[in-house]
Structure 1
Amino acid sequence: MTPLRSGLLAAVMTLIIDQASKAWLLYVFDIAHRGTVRVTPFFDLVLAWNIGISFGLFQNDSQAAQFTLMAVKVLAVIALGIWMMRSQTRMATVALGLIIGGAVGNGIDRLAHGAVVDFALFHLQIGGNTYNWYVFNLADAAIVAGVIGLLYDSFVGVPAVKVP
């Protein structure tokens, strides 16, 4: 399998798994009516509608802000797609596929729901204090894994883009 096919497969699989998990949680598991569901002592399922960008930054539900976020996302996916087509390593190509698939998955949420569906919450109880991580979804996890893959490839692998 060529690196480009690997990247495209990573993007498509990320998108499918992300959207399937969100659909199941919303429409089958009905997380909206269950509230917080404790899965382990350090992990809960909880519905959060993210109208901002990564980690809930820039929360704004105006139509202009949502349009701007969507336009930036489309431009980013196009730029990442061009980078993926030019990539010379399987690691970088798959990493870019993970980022693209995650970005498209969250973009679909924004179009369908006006916000991104987040549901995974890791937390830690130390003494009487609870420390929460951001609520996120599988698309977010794929984006983070993709960025880690790109960083790894840039430090350990050959250059990700062939310079003419």
Structure 2
Amino acid sequence: MRYRFLLWAALAAFLIDQISKYLVVHVLRVAEGNIDILPPLLVFKYGENRGINFGLFQGNSEAARWMLIGISLAISVGVLVWLMRTAPTKLMLVCGGLLIGGALGNVVDRVLYGFVLDFLNMSCCGINNPFVFNLADVFIFAGAIGLVVFDGKKPS
């Protein structure tokens, strides 16, 4: 089973994302106030993202919510089909799994809550970052970068 690396990476990314959101939002109750972890480098702040990364395209309409769910699912299927049509390395399969698992983690949030739960805030060096994100976003970004860097093609 060649694609087990993709499956396990997707499952791990999905579970880590969902468990972290549950713990920070429902157990630590970050919505009641910020939690300083390593201030200002890492602070847990509650966020409801109804748009895409960094709150772009925020909207409260049901149409926008379902459109973003559809786009996330289409990208996940597209990455899966692309990987199945190429000769991916194990590292590419892991990166694809991270991207798909992260995307599905955010899809579950949109289905359950109508928005994506965010809680990570990082600031540094006198720059106060107002944006929050979650581990699914980290997995999506790392997976996408990994697919580009480790695409297995030799430079021409």
Q: TM-score, normalised to structure 2's length? A: 0.90
> How many residues matched?
152
The Cα shift of 1:149 comes to 0.7
Give the aligned CA root-mean-square deviation in angstroms.
Answer: 1.6
Is 1:158 matched with 2:148? no
The Cα shift of 1:125 comes to 4.4
Tell me how far apart the structure 2 counterparts of residues 125 and 77 of structure 1 sit (CA, whole Å): 35
More strand by share: 1
1:147 is aligned with what amino acid?
A: A
Q: Percent identity?
A: 39
Q: Unmatched 5+ residue regions in structure 1? A: 160-164
Alpha carbons 1:87, 1:93 under 8 Å: kept: no
1:61 is aligned with what amino acid?
A: N
CA deviation vs aligned residue, 1:56-87 (integer Å, no higher than 9, x gap): 11101101111111111121121122123234
Alpha carbons 1:32, 1:47 under 8 Å: kept: yes
Q: Structure 1 stretch 51-60 or stretch 81-90: which is displaced more?
A: 81-90
Is 1:28 matched with 2:23? no
Q: Equivalent residues in 2 for 1:15-164 (5 A)?
A: 15-33=14-32, 35-41=33-39, 42-88=41-87, 89-126=89-126, 130-132=127-129, 134-154=131-151, 157-158=152-153
Q: 1:162 maps to which residue?
A: none
Q: Unmatched 5+ residue regions in structure 2? A: none
**Compared with structure 1, are the counterparts of its residues 133 and 98 closer, same or farther at alpha carbon in structure 2 (3 Å cutoff)?**
farther
Radius of gyration: which is bigger? 1
